[in-house]
Amino acid sequence: GAVVSQHPSWVICKSGTSVKIECRSLDFQATTMFWYRQFPKQSLMLMATSNEGSKATYEQGVEKDKFLINHASLTLSTLTVTSAHPEDSSFYICSASTGGRTYEQYFGPGTRLTVT
């Protein structure tokens, strides 16, 4: 149980284009979803937290107009990187929790984004 999927697993896009990443909880209802960014040999950096049907809460320093997050249902959240630039290249990972237990998160497999 507690399976989270992400799509796509990797994507290459040209500078200036937008990319959408999907995160789905497959066998549970995710009341809260999280988006992280991870650089090589670095820890997870929380970008934003979203609750179903509500606007996302962004961490300090994360541009909300660049990283659009939508949590439309209890099983789906999307991250759209708008007008991507090479510095946005990274490993993006989503996670989900249920029942208010935000300390117990189940992670997706991650999406590797490369912007050329």
Partner 1 sequence: QKEVEQDPGPLSVPEGAIVSLNCTYSNSAFQYFMWYRQYSRKGPELLMYTYSSGNKEDGRFTAQVDKSSKYISLFIRDSQPSDSATYLCAIVSSGGSYIPTFGRGTSLIVHP
Q: By CB under 8 A, name the binding residues for partner 1.
A: 4, 6, 34, 41-44, 46, 49, 91, 93, 95, 101-110, 112
Taking the complex as a whole, the smallest distance from the CB of residue 92 to partner 1 amounts, in Å, to 10
Please say whether the beta carbons of 94 and 35 come within 8 A.
yes
Taking the complex as a whole, the smallest distance from the CB of residue 61 to partner 1 amounts, in Å, to 16
Sign of the alpha-carbon torsion through 59, 97, 26, 108: positive
Phi, psi of 32, rounded to the nearest 5 degrees = -135, 135
Residue nearer to partner 1 on the CB measure, 81 or 97: 97
Number of C-beta neighbours around residue 53 at 10 A? 9
Residue nearer to partner 1 on the CB measure, 71 or 108: 108
Residue whose entry in the numeric block shows the structure tokens 């959240």: 77
Residue nearer to partner 1 on the CB measure, 22 or 82: 22
